[in-house]
Structures are given as structure tokens and as C-alpha cells.
Chain A
Amino acid sequence: MLDIQNVTKVFYPGTVNEKMALDDINLHVDKGDVICVIGSNGSGKSTLFNLISGTYPVTSGTIVLDGKDVTHMPEYKRAMTIGRIFQDPTKGTAANMTIEDNMITALTKGMRGLKISLNAEKREFFREQLELIGLQDRLRDNVGLLSGGQRQALTLLMTVLSHPKMILLDEHTAALDPRNAQTVMDLTERFIASYQLTALTVTHNMKFAIEFGNRLIMMDEGHIILDISGAEKKKLTVDKLVKLFRDIRKKEFVSDEGLLTT
């Protein structure tokens, strides 16, 4: 599904601020993989996501997505295959439009024509889908009126409806309160299972990372330092994970994220 070969990303090359964000990363993602990416701030998780979705160009290396070399493809073209959800709930929806207008925009990928797609049948379909997140009676309300949790749930629903082959979840529950985060996470799991999606998730919650998905990747200072999958992952505990990190990097895990959220 996704092949990242020798990808390096350097920010501000040739200046005093030069920073190696990703250092010769190799990653192969199979179809149907559900991967959790963990690592402290600045370890390169978000940069990795930005390179996969095409927000930034790579410094060197190639990215192959669904059998196509997308290394130099603009973000909007890669979005035909990728659905991405951001940490910021306002990024996934247009606040100035109604829920139904947002959903009709999300229903298909690619350039639009002069067809009027929104009709009674579509509205009924949206209403059914919105029942999952309890917004079935608010089709004509502006999205700006929704709470962060509702907006993120709507974003998730919209992303899934556009049938991406792979979804990138960039800490998409981090801005929500625990209860809403749980709701959105349950929905995520449900959608991933029912649409058989390939997913990459960034999280700071180690316990969650252990429970969620079939594969776990840990990043540190621009390297992938740990890649555990299958049965081995099932045996993981938070303590084991922290110990593994210590053994590999010969240093303490930054405790504020690693331990507080266990």
C-alpha cells in the first residue's frame, strides 16, 4: 500500500536553523495494516505524515503509494488515495457551510462539475449516516455551530464517506475531552474495520498504542527505532515499551508524554 524508501527531510537546509527531521527512513505498509506511531515531540511523526500526504516535498528518497510513485505529486492528487484527519477539529470541515453541503462536498473525490448532487435521496443517506454521531437532525445547521468533538466526528464520517484507501490520523482526538475522544476513537475503529482501511495513527498515549491496531512504530530523532507487529505486539505492556526504548536509545523516555498518559 505504502512504501517509503530512504526518505530524508531537512528543514531550512544551508542555514543556521538547518534541522534533520527525518533521517533515511524506510517503511513498508501493507494493505489493511493499522499502525500506531508513537514518539516524543520533534521525533518526526508529523513530518512523516506531511511527507506522505504531500504537504512538504521530500529532501531525498521516494514514496510509493498504492503502486504509484507519488514523490513529486502535489498534495491534492495524493488526497485521491489518502484521507487525512488533523488534530485541529476546524481543519476538516468548512465552518461557513451547512452539514449537508459539507457532506456532499466530501462524498466524492476529484474535480467537480455543474451537477446538482444534493437531492432528497442523498439527504436521507446523510441522515442515516449522521445517526452514528447523533447529528441527524442538524443537516441544515452551519458546521461552525458544532462543538469540537462533533466536528471531529463529522470530519471522520466525511473522510470515510469519500472512500480513501488509506487514512492518516494525526492525533485526531488530542484536542477533545476524554469522553468525546473515546466516542471518536470508537467510531474510528468501527470505520477502519467495516471499510477495511489501511490506517496510520499518531498518538501520545502508549496504552492506547498498545491496544490499537496490529503494528506499532516508535520514532525518535528522525529515526524509526522500533517496529513491532502481530503476536509480539499483543504481548506488549507499557513498562516493556519504556524499557525497550531505554535499551535502544540508552536514555530516559521523556516522561511528560510517555508516562503521564499510560
Chain B
Amino acid sequence: MIEGIFVDGLIFSIMVLGILISFRILDFADLTCDGSVATGAAVATMCIVNGAGVAVGLILAFLSGVLAGMVTAAIHNRLKVPGLLAGILTMTMLYSINLRILGNKANVPLLRKVTIYTSMPETFSFLPSAWAALVGTLIFVLVIKVLIDVFFRTDLGLALGALGGNEQVIISQGMNPSVLKLIGIGLSNGLIALSGGLLAQYQGFADANLGQGMVVQGLAAIMLGEFLFSSNKISLITLRAVFGAIIYKGLMFFGRKYGYLIHITPNDFKLLTGILVIASLLIAQTRSMASSSGARKKAIQRSMANRQAEAEAEAQKASQAVDGQADEPRDTNETIRSPRPDGPSEEAR
């Protein structure tokens, strides 16, 4: 059972990486995800059902996601509407398109078809079948993670990062931000659709409603990952997103398994995921507030200590001045500033 959580989490992590690209790296609130994950599932499923094979199915799933993302970016670029609205438009349109792809059915099963998850136990025949699925998925995810890491270190990848940080920098360097957005949002949704394609094969069916609430789940996973460690290195940022995805699926698994004890049903999961995101945001906020109040306390302590040390030093100097006023005339200055009301300072003044 534990392998199931990991496989589920790893498949989910590809989608989380896609959401990471749009939300975190490009700073583009893209809701296309809810549609494109189902598109990927639908395309992969129909390819397999119609005998085109797993590889073709996954490649086409990826490309269909790229296309969906590009539509969102094109709407945003051409009509100058916020990315949020562009994403919602594409997502809504995709719902109909996904039903078309599935042949006007809401659900297409992959019964008795060769999928990536039926062939994995054969490839890794030395392992139990559940573990074979895990190893296969792990390799798949690792390859994708490394490819993303390398991509974001290329000049184009860095330009995408700069676009998310400050669009003016991109314009100033003579690059068209619209083209970069097409590439970035396309890539993001390509990964999301690829994840959908894998998910359909793992669960054995494609569903038009597969994508509902996926963005929020992905964000929850990203935020869980961000609690693990902080870094500005892309390889660690993608790594913690993968971890976050697995942790999220783990939490959901235990929610399903033990949730009934406190009357939680799977129907409550969307609510709980939303609460999880809100809680993550709150914790992050409280954390930064705590660290700044900690810094304030330290600063106050430091200045108190400084003041005390100064006062002590001055008191010492003042007493020294009283002792040796004749031979140390240079100390007069300090003596004058001495706070002691009864000291020689009053006389000097």
C-alpha cells in the first residue's frame, strides 16, 4: 500500500512541477491546469484504446498540454487580460474539448489494454509488481526533474526566470515577453498533461472531471515542499516540489484511511486541501513575523547591552578622571559627558 502512495505522489509531482513553473517561476497564476490535466489523460487514453501505443500516447498528451498552455498565453498576450482570466477561459473551453476527445463520454476505461503500468512489472520482472510500478515511475520522474533543472539553467530558462521576477528586464534585453510566456506556460501545461496521461494509465481510466481542483492541490503540495527547506537553487526547488507532492498524497491517504474516525469522507478533501493551503500561508506569515519579532528582541537586547557597557565604561573613566585629573587632561571630554550628577562633570561644566 505504501508503494501506492509513492506512485500516486510521483505522478502527481510531475503536475506539481508544471504548476511550479507557472505559479512560482513565471509568477503567472495559470488555472489552465484543471483542464489540461484531463486533456492529457483523455489524449493518452484514446491513443492507447485506439492502439497507438503508450509512447505515442504520452508524447501526444504532452503536446496537447503545450497547446492548451499556449492558448492561455496567447489570450493573455493578445487581449492583455490577466493570466487568471485567460486560464479560466481555456480551462472552461477544455472541458468540452476533453469530452470530444473521449468520444462524448465522461469516462473511458483502459480495461485489458497495454499501459505503462501493465508493462512495468514485465520490465522490472525481478521486483514485485507494486514495486516495479514505483521504480518505473521514480525513474520517469527523475528524468523529467533533471531535464527541468537543466532547462532552467540554459539561457532560455534563465530568461523565463527573469520574466517571472521582472518583465522589464526581459524587454530591456530585447526579448519578446509574449514569446517567452508562450514557451513557459506551454511547457508548464505540457508537464501537467503528461502527468494526466500517466495518472489515467495508473488508475485505469480517463475522466472528464479529473482536473477539478487540481491547481489548489498542486499549490498545497508546493507549499508543503517549501516548508521543508529554503533555497534559490533550481535543483532543490524542484526536489522539494516532488517531496511536497508525495507528502500531500500521503496526507490524503491517511485522511482516507483514518478520516472516518473523525467523520471525514473523501467528499471533504477539497475543503481540507483549501484549508491546508490557507494554513500553509498562515504558517509562512507567522513564521516571518516570529523571526522579525525575534530580531527585534535581539536588537533591543543588543542596544541595552551596548548602553550598559557604555555607561559602565564612562563611569570607569569618570572615576579614573577623578583619580588622575592632573596627569590626564585628555579625559576631560569624557568627564563632561558623564551622566553622574554628583561627579566632577558638574564642576567641569
Contact = CB atoms under 8 A, between A and B. Distances in A.
Interface in B181-222: none
A94 B154 CA distance: 16
B177 A113 contact: no
A187 interface: no
Interface residues of B, number: 25
Given A94-B165, A96-B164, A114 B173 contact: no
Contacts of A74: 176
A142 B168 contact: no
Contacts of A118: 153, 158
Interface in A67-104: 74-77, 79-80, 83-84, 86, 90-98, 101-102, 104
A248 interface: no
Contact of A80 (B154, B165, B174, B232): B174
Contacts of A93: 165-166, 169
Contacts of A92: 166, 168-169, 172
Contact of B175 (A97, A111, A114): A111
A162 interface: yes
B43 to A, nearest CB: 26
B154 A115 contact: yes
A136 interface: no
A171 B24 CA distance: 32
B11 interface: no
B66 to A, nearest CB: 16
A106 interface: yes
A105 interface: yes
Contacts of A105: 155, 158-159, 162, 169, 173
Nearest to A82: B172
Given A112-B159, A142-B232, A96 B165 contact: yes
Contacts of A76: 170-171, 174-177
A11 to B, nearest CB: 18
B174 A115 contact: no
Interface residues of A, number: 37
Nearest to B161: A97
Given A76-B170, A94-B166, A104 B158 contact: yes
A231 interface: no
Interface in A23-79: 74-77, 79
Interface string A99-134: 001101110111111111110000000000000000
Interface in B116-157: 150-151, 153-156
B174 A113 contact: no
B156 A112 contact: yes
A117 B162 CA distance: 15
A97 B168 contact: no
A74 B150 CA distance: 31
B177 to A, nearest CB: 7
B179 interface: yes
B237 to A, nearest CB: 11
A118 B159 CA distance: 13
Interface of B: 150-151, 153-156, 158-159, 161-162, 164-166, 168-177, 179, 232
Q: Which 10 A-B pairs have the closest CB atoms?
A: A94-B165, A112-B155, A109-B174, A96-B165, A80-B174, A112-B156, A94-B162, A94-B166, A79-B174, A76-B171
15 contacts: A76-B177, A79-B171, A92-B166, A93-B166, A96-B164, A96-B165, A97-B158, A97-B161, A101-B161, A101-B162, A104-B158, A106-B173, A111-B179, A159-B172, A162-B173
Given A91-B168, A101-B158, A111-B176, 9 more contacts: A76-B177, A77-B174, A92-B172, A97-B162, A102-B162, A105-B158, A105-B173, A108-B155, A112-B175
